[in-house]
Every structure is written in structure tokens, then in C-alpha cells.
């Protein structure tokens, strides 16, 4: 399929944020191809990876590397150059939408500060693809990106969003996906429905649905369960979880007077909340009597 020459107007000077496929090479818009072909320079996270995409579409454009390690240093220089030479420059990441857990934010800030035009060329994004197939409420959602690598920091980050009243979307690497599912089983309400979307748009695309423990067991039983790319989608907190704030206040009030297990027992019986839920909240409080 050919895009008629000139059918996609290219603005100059302009910074284009161009979404690329997350697996399936055909998941790229005609406008994205036209911009990548006609712009003066393509900024890529990994130039070899983007070169493969451009080669596939027979686009021979100049590529420069802009990634997490250099983008803060090069942003101001690039913006000056785009403005001075009136360039159309496209930013792409290795896969999906730039700036979504990917480089681009400092460059966009610098471009806006310099009064440059910034245009999005929308397309694939793993978070949205996963949300759409998850079968969980999609009218309100929160994107948390990657949890921290270290377990203690990941635990606190998850505890901070455990009562989120919107569907929650996390990215995870194959190395840490099981760890994160274990943390979800421990920290987020045990019965909460989740969906893990693996290898979206690719040959071995798989969706695992159930509670975190059930999904963990599914991944462990699947010979491909530890490979590929993963998005974790977590159902919103149920209304009674929103009452967690009340439980926490009780826990804080009783903490100086009772050991943790006794305080959990008392509160779960007085507030008619499952012991596990109260215990999970109690884990976030340090000052219980011994």
C-alpha cells in the first residue's frame, strides 16, 4: 500500500512523537510511516532496532540515538537545532508510544519551553492493548508503569496503590513478573481479579486471568510463562477496600497498646473485616507494642 506523496503534511519546525509497533510490524499508522519517511531526522532509543523497522518499510532516513542515558544532555541542543534549521524531527522508542515508560519527556519539556510545535502520531501502546483485552473496568484506569526493582521499594509502591479505585496497569519484565504477582497476592486483596497479558500482538500472545495466586500458578505451569513481555492489569479496589483508611486509623490507635497480632484480631472482629485484610494493613505500621 502506498501513501500518496504529500497526502500527509509535514510541519517544520516540529517534534513528532511517533508510536511504533509492540510486536506486530503491521501495527503502525500510515501517518507514522509518512512522517518517518519525510522528516529530516529520526531520534531512536536503539538505532539498530529502529533501522530494522525502517528497512521493513523501505524507509532510508538518518537515525540518531536518544535514550535514557543521554536525553537530558542532548535535549537542549536538539531543540536549538530543530528551531534554528527549521527541522521536522521524529522521536520513536524501541516499541510502542514514546514517553510511556520510555524516553522523551525531557525532550518534550525542552521543546515546549522553546515554543516548538510538538505533535503526537498515535499508535500501539502495550498498556492500552492490555487494558482492552483484560475484561476489567476500562472507563477509569491508572498507569503505574514498572514497580521499583528492589523488593522493599516494590512492596511500598504497591501498598501505596493497593486501594486504587481505578483499574491499575503495571509493566513488568519477565525476570520480575513472578515476584510482582507474589507481591500482589500478598499486598492487594487476595480475591482481586487480575489479567496478565503476555506478548501482546505477537505469535505467542497469551492472557492469564484469575486472582494473583491463580495467575502465578498458570505462569508457573506454562513452559513460556517466564519469557516475553508482560502487562499486569488489576481490577479496582472493591468499596469495602476504600474503608481501609478507617482500619488503618484503628491500627495506629491500638499499635502502642497491643502486639500486632492481637490488634489485628480485635479490629477484624469489631469492624467485621477479614483477618488477612487487616493483617495486610498492619504490615505497613511499625510501632506495635511487643
Cell 487487616 sits on residue: 278
Query: Residue 136 and residue 138: Cα distance in Å, rounded?
Result: 6
- Under DSSP, the state recorded for 96 is B
Cβ-based nearer residue to ligand SAM, 116 or 197: 197
Cβ-based nearer residue to ligand SAM, 133 or 271: 133
The nearest distance, CB 76 to ligand SAM, in angstroms, is: 23
- Under DSSP, the state recorded for 20 is B
Cβ-based nearer residue to ligand SAM, 125 or 194: 125
Cβ-based nearer residue to ligand SAM, 144 or 172: 172
Strand-by-strand arrangement of the 194-198 sheet: 141-146, 167-172, 230-234, 194-198, 206-210
Cell 501495527 sits on residue: 27
The nearest distance, CB 56 to ligand SAM, in angstroms, is: 17
Q: What residues pair up with 271 in beta bridges, in sequence order?
A: none
Residues in the chain, how many?
Answer: 290
The nearest distance, CB 251 to ligand SAM, in angstroms, is: 34
The nearest distance, CB 133 to ligand SAM, in angstroms, is: 10
Residue, CB closest to ligand SAM: 96
The nearest distance, CB 129 to ligand SAM, in angstroms, is: 7
Other C-beta atoms closer than 10 Å to the C-beta of 9 total 7
Cβ-based nearer residue to ligand SAM, 146 or 250: 146
The nearest distance, CB 120 to ligand SAM, in angstroms, is: 12
Q: Cα torsion for 270, 274, 279, 284, to the nearest 10°?
A: -90
Cβ-based nearer residue to ligand SAM, 228 or 284: 228
Strand-by-strand arrangement of the 14-18 sheet: 63-65, 41-44, 88-92, 14-18, 117-121
The nearest distance, CB 7 to ligand SAM, in angstroms, is: 26
Interface with ligand SAM (CB under 6 A): 22-23, 93, 95-97, 100-102, 125-127, 171-173, 197, 199-202, 229-231
Cell 501517518 sits on residue: 31
Cβ-based nearer residue to ligand SAM, 90 or 282: 90
Nearest by Cα to 169 from 229, 95, 232? 232
Query: Residue 98 and residue 94: Cα distance in Å, rounded?
Result: 8
Helix/strand/coil (H, E, C) string of 97-148?
Answer: CCCCCCCCHHHHHHHHHCCCEEEEECCCCHHHHHHHHHCCCCCCEEEEEECC
Cβ-based nearer residue to ligand SAM, 1 or 26: 26
The nearest distance, CB 204 to ligand SAM, in angstroms, is: 10
Amino acid at each position: 500500500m502506498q501513501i500518496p506523496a504529500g497526502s500527509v503534511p509535514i510541519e517544520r519546525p516540529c517534534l513528532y512523537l511517533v508510536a511504533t509497533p509492540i510486536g506486530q510490524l503491521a501495527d503502525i499508522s500510515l501517518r507514522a510511516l509518512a512522517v518517518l519517511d519525510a522528516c529530516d531526522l529520526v531520534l531512536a532509543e536503539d538505532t539498530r532496532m529502529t533501522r530494522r523497522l525502517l528497512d521493513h518499510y523501505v524507509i532510508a532516513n538518518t537515525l540518531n540515538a536518544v535514550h535514557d542515558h543521554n536525553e537530558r544532555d542532548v535535549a537542549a541542543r536538539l531543540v536549538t537545532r530543530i528551531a534554528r534549521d527549521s527541522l521536522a524531527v521524529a522521536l520513536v522508542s524501541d516499541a510502542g508510544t514514546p514517553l510511556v515508560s520510555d524516553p522523551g519527556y525531557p525532550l518534550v519539556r525542552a521543546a515546549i519551553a522553546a515554543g516548538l510545535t510538538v505533535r503526537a502520531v498515535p499508535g500501539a501502546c502495550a498498556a492500552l492493548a492490555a487494558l482492552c483485552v483484560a475484561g476489567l473496568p476500562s472507563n477509569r484506569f491508572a498507569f503505574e508503569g514498572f514497580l521499583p526493582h528492589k523488593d522493599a521499594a516494590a512492596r511500598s509502591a504497591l501498598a501505596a496503590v493497593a486501594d486504587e479505585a481505578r483499574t491499575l496497569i503495571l509493566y513488568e519484565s519477565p525476570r520480575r513478573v513472578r515476584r510482582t504477582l507474589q507481591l500482589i497476592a500478598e499486598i492487594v486483596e487476595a480475591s482481586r481479579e487480575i489479567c496478565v497479558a503476555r506478548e501482546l500482538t505477537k505469535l505467542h500472545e497469551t492472557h492469564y486471568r484469575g486472582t494473583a495466586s491463580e495467575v502465578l500458578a498458570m505462569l508457573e505451569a506454562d513452559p513460556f510463562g517466564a519469557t516475553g513481555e508482560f502487562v499486569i492489569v488489576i481490577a479496582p479496589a472493591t468499596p469495602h477496600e476504600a474503608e481501609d483508611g478507617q482500619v488503618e486509623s484503628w491500627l495506629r490507635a491500638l499499635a502502642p497498646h497491643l502486639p500486632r497480632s492481637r490488634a489485628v484480631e480485635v479490629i477484624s472482629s469489631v469492624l467485621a473485616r477479614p483477618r488477612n485484610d487487616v493483617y495486610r494493613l498492619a504490615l505497613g505500621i511499625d510501632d506495635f507494642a511487643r
